[in-house]
Amino acid sequence: MKGIFITFEGPEGSGKTSVIKAVETALKQRGIDVLVTREPGGVAISEQIRQLLLDVDKKEMDPRTEALLFAASRRQHVIEVINPALKEGKVVVCDRYVDSSLAYQGHGRGLGIDEVYRINHFAIDGTLPDLTLFIDVPPSIGLNRVFANGRNVDRLDLESMAFHEKVYEGYCILVKRFPERIRAIDGTKPLERVVERALEMIATRLDEE
């Protein structure tokens, strides 16, 4: 039996991580065999790549290098974690995946969504999400949340507001381009409401199996 692959996407401070935690609890309560993971998923090779990617001192990093490193990290995570779990029939929920690269590197950095999709196509080799939930929070609200709640600020958080606006625009393009796969949820609503919407959409997808 092949499992189901669900990804969560959103700009900085969209609250994805809290939503995913609540979704995981609810799915487990319903007896669903769920595996929650996040890029780089605790995989040693991917963790090392991530350290390089998020290091605030690596200001010289070229956008294509950045895109290739995210794709390389993703590849190892797919091979070691995602594909084996899907093979076991699990519902795999991943915090960020290929659409992050399309929005951040493709549109945010201006490399082009199609160009970045090509290298990711090579990296993921067919492991595309069955459903992607985009937690829609405008960047001004999201970044305020990040700086207010004092989480560690990484190299990408420190980018300009213009960059984050582009990333958000990138996500909006993706929602329009892949309407059958990507669903937007209003992330400015209270957490319980966002979780409820996410669970409804997941239930609909599971019922289709």
Which spans of this chain sit near ligand TYD (rule: CB under 6 A)?
A: 12, 16, 39, 54, 70, 96, 100-101, 104-105, 154, 156
- CB closer to ligand TYD out of 32 and 52: 52
Minimum Å gap between C-beta 21 and ligand TYD is 13
- CB closer to ligand TYD out of 104 and 134: 104
**CA-CA distance, 134 to 32, in Å (whole number)?**
22
Residue 132, classed as helix, strand or coil, is strand
Minimum Å gap between C-beta 16 and ligand TYD is 6
- Going by C-alpha positions, the residue among 24, 59, 73, 173 that lies closest to residue 113 is 173
Minimum Å gap between C-beta 151 and ligand TYD is 7
Q: How many CB atoms lie within 10 A of CB 72?
A: 16
- CB closer to ligand TYD out of 12 and 136: 12
Tokens describing residue 170? 């990138």
- CB closer to ligand TYD out of 88 and 153: 153
- Going by C-alpha positions, the residue among 168, 175, 92, 167 that lies closest to residue 127 is 92
Minimum Å gap between C-beta 68 and ligand TYD is 11
Distances (CA, A) of 156 to 60, 69, 153, 164: 13, 14, 8, 9
For ligand TYD, the nearest residue by Cβ is 104
- CB closer to ligand TYD out of 45 and 156: 156
Distances (CA, A) of 121 to 71, 112, 116, 200: 9, 14, 9, 29
**CA-CA distance, 124 to 45, in Å (whole number)?**
16
- CB closer to ligand TYD out of 34 and 94: 94
Minimum Å gap between C-beta 37 and ligand TYD is 11
Minimum Å gap between C-beta 90 and ligand TYD is 21
User: Where on the phi/psi map is residue 71: left (φ > 0), alpha (ψ -120 to 50), or beta?
Assistant: alpha
